[in-house]
Structure 1
């Protein structure tokens, strides 16, 4: 029985559109990620999961500890449900959420918020909160070359040098209402960019990543040493799914962050150092046949965030050999699919897709149907299914 037959059999009683999670694939991906981390704990990126029951299951696996949330309201909610050790990966200007954090002693113990400037410190400290707030310094991990004419990596923190990090750390320590808990730096140009690409562009990516890894390992070590002279740090976090083994090899790093590799979306097919198994998929029904070589499915316009382009579209996965119409692409209410396989599809058949990214799929579906072998064994709510939409 091939994968399409297995998925169709498991979900025969469901009416598409729906989303599934292949638990055998998820467990295999988790085990491989833990192996790559070389004994260092993986903090689970909730943005890539967006399903609380799955977060809980992953955290119960060997090699995983702590959550990296994407908003403070999300972190507050997760802690209220019993999860612990939650790092908010992005700075917040949500005064109401900060007041809730600083007024709850349990939440204040479990949640760490991100800062990268004195302005963030002023905002938090100015609220006069009854409980001290744990903070983490976000360090720029981007790569620059040719006197700054080339830059690769996300535009995140303005803190790049050891002296800048030490100055901000000293400003945190000087404020009784704040506690410096850790450092974080995310090398998006390595962790989020596949290196298994053909031609000149692929060679450029591999050159950039090699240079960036060496530069960042030195700089991250120097920054960590400078900050540790000012305050004890509980953790130094770095990396992502695409760089787990590389980031974990750095002495300064105490934990890595990852999440997308659990679902293994389309964008993670293009790495040389690891191969995952597609775990999260969604099914759409064929609803009409405009011509013998075209099969049109309902919906499908689930574009991924980031710079627009073909790589942000879901992948028509099963049956293989389907492609988008260049004039329509993936549409909000209908998506025509072309290719030899389209001729064999009939109204009522289903087409299986993979999202370009991981957790963004869960913003489209209230539940995930969990598959073991060729059976659906459970249905669990996504964040949206629990009535939670944080962004």
Structure 2
């Protein structure tokens, strides 16, 4: 269990609400990710961090190589800050950022765009015009498992089969102004699904077997058309599985650094919670309820209990079913609430990783020695990438 009293003592001078990162747990988690990757380089998913100093420090570790971004304006910004290996994980239609990309050689060298259709290539041509400089692109392949008419996985790329991918790859190779350099396979039904039951573990195992066979065929087919410099796959929840596939050149992870509550249900690995936020008690409506200021930091995804923040200190606190985490106030209940007074602090964990950082201008990084380094988030650097 994290030493919450140490974290609160170190940050006692800060006014709430504020975000905390336990540096010791953060780098222990990084070491665990590297160990589970077992020699396969990890591309750091920036959306799961959104703190530039932590991203920069992670990239100094032997085992991390390059970043996976979520927007083109973010990619351009990071390239201008010196990051030289950037894979944009999602298609873009951001016109200004496309023009900025094409305007500087260092951006063109650093950034690889993601596409999944000829329409996406056409759009880039339309924005940049004829004769634009060569743009590095990768194809995202649908990594979902299609079985018995069901679609197990997320709805991302429309290209799924070897035939689909080869057709798109051929069109890109023949198009002036583009260099097809990579493939990406995000196996959400494996990496993002907790090991909650025998049935789930069976689905994950069988899905991985199907994807591994299909990925091998796709990589070979596209490799006959172009020089593939990267084949990206996996996520925090599947490093130990996907990393054994010889068809890939790299893995992706990010959430595992912070270890939010959505990762508590995995059995194949254990990481240490490293990111938190603290709220102050501002009222006591009853003896058994303490109400904190702010806290309604709900995670994205299908709405439900798994997306709400979790009070973790003092122990044995819970949200009220009728109110949950509120926009301005968050009541908590339980035996521990009886001991809370006005001004006391309650520590919460977010359901997701980087999304917490969109709520704060900075994070208080607490070192093993109890010192605090206050470092800006993307938001604190006045960056909002959607």
* Both proteins in one fold, TM over 0.5: yes
Counterpart position of 1:140 = 142
The alignment status of 1:308 with 2:303, answered yes or no, reads yes
Superposed displacement of residue 374, structure 1: 5.3
- Corresponding residue to 2:363 among 337, 350, 368: 368
Decide whether the 8 Å contact of 1:9 with 1:374 is kept in 2.
no
Rounded to whole Å, the distance in 2 between the matches of 1:228 and 1:204 is 36
CA shift digits 1:198-238 (9 cap, x unpaired): xxxx2321121111011001111111111001111000000
Counterpart position of 1:323 = 318
Counterpart position of 1:92 = 92
CA shift digits 1:20-49 (9 cap, x unpaired): 111100110000100110101100000000
Q: Secondary structure at the match of 2:278?
A: strand
Q: Which aligned pairs between 1:204-243 and structure 2 lie closer than 5 A?
A: 204-243=199-238
Q: Which aligned pairs between 1:183-222 and structure 2 lie closer than 5 A?
A: 183-195=183-195, 197=196, 202-222=197-217
Superposed displacement of residue 373, structure 1: 2.5
Rounded to whole Å, the distance in 2 between the matches of 1:158 and 1:110 is 26
Q: Which aligned pairs between 1:108-127 and structure 2 lie closer than 5 A?
A: 108-126=108-126, 127=128
Q: Secondary structure at the match of 2:136?
A: strand
Counterpart position of 2:265 = 270
CA shift digits 1:321-377 (9 cap, x unpaired): 111111100000001101111111111110001100000001000001110135233
Q: Secondary structure at the match of 2:202?
A: helix
Q: Secondary structure at the match of 1:211?
A: helix
Q: Which runs of 5+ in 1 are unaligned?
A: none
Decide whether the 8 Å contact of 2:2 with 2:273 is kept in 1.
no
Decide whether the 8 Å contact of 1:7 with 1:374 is kept in 2.
no
Counterpart position of 1:384 = 379
Decide whether the 8 Å contact of 1:103 with 1:130 is kept in 2.
no
Rounded to whole Å, the distance in 2 between the matches of 1:368 and 1:322 is 24
Q: 1:2 to 1:240 in 2, by over 3 A?
A: closer
Rounded to whole Å, the distance in 1 between the matches of 2:282 and 2:242 is 46
Q: Which runs of 5+ in 2 are unaligned?
A: none
Q: Secondary structure at the match of 1:375?
A: coil
Q: Which moved more, 1:118-127 or 1:44-53?
A: 118-127
Q: Secondary structure at the match of 2:371?
A: strand
Rounded to whole Å, the distance in 1 between the matches of 2:330 and 2:12 is 22
Rounded to whole Å, the distance in 2 between the matches of 1:340 and 1:373 is 31
Q: TM-score, normalised by structure 2?
A: 0.98
Rounded to whole Å, the distance in 2 between the matches of 1:347 and 1:377 is 25
Rounded to whole Å, the distance in 2 between the matches of 1:5 and 1:94 is 45
- Corresponding residue to 1:346 among 336, 341, 356: 341
Rounded to whole Å, the distance in 2 between the matches of 1:102 and 1:125 is 11
C-alpha RMSD of the superposition: 1.2
Superposed displacement of residue 131, structure 1: 1.5
Decide whether the 8 Å contact of 1:154 with 1:189 is kept in 2.
yes
Q: How many residues align?
A: 384
Rounded to whole Å, the distance in 1 between the matches of 2:113 and 2:33 is 25
Superposed displacement of residue 102, structure 1: 1.4
Decide whether the 8 Å contact of 2:232 with 2:248 is kept in 1.
yes
Q: Secondary structure at the match of 1:245?
A: helix
Q: Secondary structure at the match of 1:113?
A: strand
Decide whether the 8 Å contact of 1:138 with 1:157 is kept in 2.
yes
Decide whether the 8 Å contact of 2:11 with 2:372 is kept in 1.
no
Rounded to whole Å, the distance in 1 between the matches of 2:242 and 2:133 is 33
Superposed displacement of residue 124, structure 1: 1.3
Superposed displacement of residue 130, structure 1: 3.1
The alignment status of 1:61 with 2:61, answered yes or no, reads yes
Superposed displacement of residue 11, structure 1: 1.0
